[in-house]
Structure 1
Amino acid sequence: MLRGAAGAALAVGAAGVLPGVASAERGGHGGHWGLRVPKDKISIQLYTLRSILENDLEGTLDALADIGYRKVELAGTYGRSAEEFRKLLDARRIKATSTHVGIDGDIDQAIADAKVLGNRRSNVAWANFGTIAEWETFADRLEAAGKAYRRAGIGFGYHNHDHEFQAIDGVRPYDVLTRRTSRRNVSLEMDLYWVVVAGADPVREFYKIAGRVKQYHVKDRAPDGGFADLGEGNIDFRRIFRATRPLEVEEYIVENDQPVDALKCAETGYNYLANLRF
């Protein structure tokens, strides 16, 4: 079933890459171009706001709630325990549906914290190795960690950067990770900015592992190749979202690694996703 859906949707996605094909921006107002990102699927990676969260945690969370965010992805708890951070979120009707974690520490404790925080998913944020053998070993560790998280009722995945798409001795580390882990234990959090920077097509990569991409990091690219607030860069999110709609992801997570104004970036990102039609 997945292969059938993936094949049909990939044809749609590939068509969007061909020269001369009308984009959603130039097209009609109904049908598939009238689709939108559900507001309850919009989240933000708090790493985007790290500089102001460190100085004013409660005020920043207040601002996010005022913007409209009801979901966030964590990258640390800023000196608070899991219990304390959960109370801050609950008071603002915000859910920490996912978090970035490592696998070098105490996995049992990480799982316990994830349960307290209410995380539905935990994702490894970063890995980099110089040989395919090292990537294979890491993939095996991901699979083992994913199994432990699954048994605890929490999804587990990996978040990419660009280097996973650069071949080592003719083999891409991303392919090692996806082939050497199982869809049962390891999902993918696809960072669209880094896929584009790597020179890959997010739609094609999505359907190569159809059904395993559960979350998007929606991060825009400036004309100079750097980071941009959503809608102010050159990544065609309309095409990506339209082409991958048949296997829609669970969350669209706003992110900017180096925002000029973090709160403005958060507001711009939320409004962009809430108002986008594709």
Structure 2
Amino acid sequence: MSDLQRRTLLRAAALTAMGLGAAVAAPGTASASASADTGDGRVNGRVPRGAISIQLYSLRDMLTADLEVTLAALAQIGYRKVEMAGTYGRTAVQFRAILDRHDLHATSTHVGVNANWQASLDDALTLGNRFIVHPWANYATADEWRRFADELESAGAAARAAGLRFGYHNHAHEFARLPTGERPYDIITATDPKLVHLEVDLYWAVTGSADPVALFEQHGRRIKQFHVKDRAADGSFADVGKGTIDFRRIFANADETGVLEYIVERDSQPHPVDTARIGYEYLRKVRFGR
């Protein structure tokens, strides 16, 4: 028995013990039909396989319970890229080694701007990140948002000097009006686009009554990443393609903006491996066009 076969059987046994046996395929079968387009280049009317990722927050309880087995499940589904949100008690060096074992590349990470920002940048480089993204902010006044926007620019300048792209990830409240009539999102996007790109969370944008297509028209190539997250009719979270968000319309209008990553995510996690599989299969199969 080869080492690859032995590792696959061991993974299958571990996943079966966790009730995840369906996530395991024979070596090579998960990606056999997806081998034609492995880069970030545009493929007309399709999401390139190399642009598909998943936010590990979607599997956070499983990652806490068994990091190796969970990452093995993602790799067997077909993922090659992930976006991080913490290292689950490991150092950046240790986490990178685990990712490498499972042929996964952490191209992006969520890290809030902090007092030890250079250390965060160093860790991102160790992990092999291309993007580092501020995941959350909320302030009551426009002046506070403006001070925060200044912090974003400073953090973005340091990230750029380190060879990283720095972005901001939205929720719904950035699209609500402040007492001055301004929207936090407009204050954030008044920053230098060379220093702060946009990671548009499609669920939260829609929840905040923002039309993602209008965001593309306004911000164009500044949008480098999507969180592909679906919304049920009652406003709750849904697996990608099972809810109400018209991803075909969104993707068709975003294609020319050069979005580089389509990141599957679900904030609630009733069946995280199913969520990961459904999201991956949807992005591999969806077709869109103007």
> TM-score band, normalised by the shorter chain?
0.7 to 0.9
| Aligned partner (choices 256, 261, 265) of residue 266 of structure 2 | 256
**Alignment-derived partner of residue 17 in structure 1:** none
| TM-score for the superposition, normalised by structure 1 | 0.87
Q: Secondary structure at the match of 1:157?
A: strand
The amino acid that maps onto 1:260 is P
Query: What's the counterpart of residue 217 of structure 1?
Result: 227
Q: Is the 8 A contact 1:227 1:259 kept in 2?
A: no
What residue is the counterpart of 1:204 in the other structure? 214
Alpha carbons 2:216, 2:257 under 8 Å: kept = no
CA distance in 1, matches of 2:171, 2:257: 22
2:108 and 2:132 in contact (8 A); partners too: yes
Residue type matched to 1:266 in 2? A
Where do residues 16-165 of structure 1 align in structure 2 (5 Å cutoff)?
35-165=45-175
Structure-1 separation of matches of 2:113 and 2:46: 35
CA contact (8 A) 2:133 2:169 kept: yes
Which SS does the other structure have where 2:70 is aligned? helix
Q: How many residues align?
A: 245
Q: 1:229: Cα distance to partner?
A: 0.2
Paired amino acid for 1:175 = D
Distance (Å, rounded) in 2 between the aligned partners of 1:258 and 1:150: 33
Is the Cα contact below 8 Å between 1:228 and 1:259 reproduced in 2?
A: no
- The aligned counterpart of 1:171 is 182
SS at match of 1:122: strand
Cα distance in 2, alignment partners of residues 105 and 76 from structure 1: 17
SS in 1 for 2:198: strand
Cα drift, residue 35 of structure 1: 1.2
Contact 1:206–1:213, Cα closer than 8 Å, also in 2: yes
Determine the structure 1 residue equivalent to 2:8: none
Alpha-carbon deviation of 1:259? 2.3
Q: Distance in 1 between matches of 2:241 and 2:254?
A: 19
SS for the counterpart of 1:210 is: helix
Distance 1:38 1:209 in 2: 22
**1:34 CA displacement:** 6.7
Kept in 2, the 8 Å contact 1:167–1:173? The answer is yes
1:277 aligned onto 2:265: no
SS in 2 for 1:211: helix
Report the alpha carbon displacement of residue 223 of structure 1 after superposing the two structures with TM: 1.0
Does residue 1:186 correspond to 2:192, yes or no? no
Structure 2 CA distance for partners of 1:34 and 1:151, relative to 1, 3 Å? closer
1:12 aligns with none
Q: Aligned to 1:63, what secondary structure does the other structure show?
A: helix
Identity %: 55
CA RMSD of aligned residues (A): 1.0
Counterpart CA distance in 2 for 1:230 and 1:171 is: 32
Shift of residue 207, structure 1, vs aligned partner: 1.9
Q: CA deviation at 1:105?
A: 3.1
Q: Deviations over 1:49-94 (max 9, x none)?
A: 0011000100000000000000000000000000000000011111
Corresponding letter in the other structure for 2:166: F
Letter in 1 for 2:187: V
Indicate conservation of the 8 Å contact 1:69/1:270, yes or no. yes
For 1:239-278, what per-residue CA distance to the aligned partner results, in whole angstroms no more than 9, with x for missing partners?
A: 0000111112000000000022000000000000000011
Query: 2:19 aligns to what?
Result: none
Taking structure 2 as the reference length, what is the TM-score of the superposition? 0.83
